[in-house]
Amino acid sequence: MKQPTALDTETTTYNTGNFYDKRNKIVCYSYATRERCGAYLITEPSIMALEELLEQTSLVVGFNFKFDLPWIRSLGVGIDSIPIWDVQIAEFIISNQTNRFPSLEGTCQKYGIQGKIDVVKTEYWDKGINTDEIPWEVLGPYAQQDAEATLQCYYAQLAVMTPKQIRLCKLMCMDLKILQEMEQNGIAYDEQLCEKNSKEINDKIKNIQEKLANVYPSIPINFNSPDHLSAFLYGGTIVEEKKIHDGFYKSGQKAGQPKLKKIEVEHILPRMFEPIRGTALKKEGMYSTNEDTLKKLKGKNKHLVAMLQELAKLETLNSKYFVGIPKLNKEMNWPKGKIHGQFNQCIAATGRLSSKEPNLQNLATELQYIFVSIYE
């Protein structure tokens, strides 16, 4: 008779075991049913044993299973037709979406279940020893305990969940499969176009910065500093550090060379705009310079505000996207010209999806054309 089976994988740890970092590999899998449990290094016989196990499985139980699913799929076993129960998603639902990204350890503690074995993390991972270098007599019991704990948490959750919560968890776990497939497919982008756009934006940024600097040409204003920007808009003091001549060294290796002394020069700027009521900051004399506040400013110098808004927009486009996306690709060791953004089901209190690395739900419209089809 088929029954629920908890599955867990242990992988190497580059970029926290990211499946799309091709340095990583699956090291072992572990499983638990009500009658038996075990852990196996990845070999041809153990993959065949997993296939046989899945044939007797009515429900795959996992914890943060979107991490494990691509690794199990990579073994070529028949998992796609089996329903999934993600204990992390279920715990998020039970908490009424207040417990963001529940941990297995925390979930075990809640239900009085023996949790993770700390030795693998403290004695190996924290010391830079990768998973495939951990002795099997240490790694095996650790992996098996994770599977056992996950299964016990599943049954504990069923005892406290309402029928509606159970249905919602099943639906979200169906979504999990699609989201994992979306992440694995990834999105292709044109790296050369990113570089070209970055250079063009840098020229625009430099042009705007020069125009803004000409307002007070003798004062070094950093328009990326909230303090400086507040002083520029609402009036205030900008402190400039200078070095001035202060005699000559009389002895030592620098004897006869000019001596410099650091001094601070205060520049007092006049007020261009009246601060919006309620925008005063805790720091005395400083006011908010965020985007919403800038939109509300009025007066003859409104053109300067427009330049500041354009500057902020261009700097975000450049750092976050045209430079940021190729940088993220390189840091994550993903295939060249491709990103694998993550979709999260256990963050937003409303239950909606969120996305990161990068945020694929909130891409600037100016960015759309750098993405290209992976199909000819």
For residue range 315-362, list pLDDT tens digits in order.
Answer: 999 999 999 999 999 999 999 999 999 999 999 998 899 999 888 888
Core vs surface per residue 80-119: b (16+ CB within 10 A) or e: eeeebbbbbbbbbbbeeeebeebebeebbebeebebebee
Q: Looking at residue 180, what is its pLDDT?
A: 96
179-234 residue pLDDT tens: 999 999 999 999 999 999 999 999 999 999 999 999 999 999 999 999 999 999 99
**In this predicted structure, which of 8-22, 169-183, 236-250 has the lowest mean pLDDT?**
236-250
Tens digit of each residue's pLDDT (9 = 90 or more) over 107-150: 999 999 988 778 999 999 999 999 999 999 999 999 999 999 99
Q: Cα–Cα distance between 359 and 338 in angstroms, integer?
A: 14
Q: Tell me, what DSSP letter sits at residue 365?
A: G
In this model, does residue 375 exceed pLDDT 80?
Answer: no
pLDDT grade for 251, boundaries at 50, 70 and 90 = confident
Confidence of residue 365 (pLDDT cuts 50, 70, 90): confident
228 phi/psi in degrees, rounded to 5: -65, -40
Domains of the chain: 3-185 (3.30.420.10), 187-217+288-376 (no CATH)
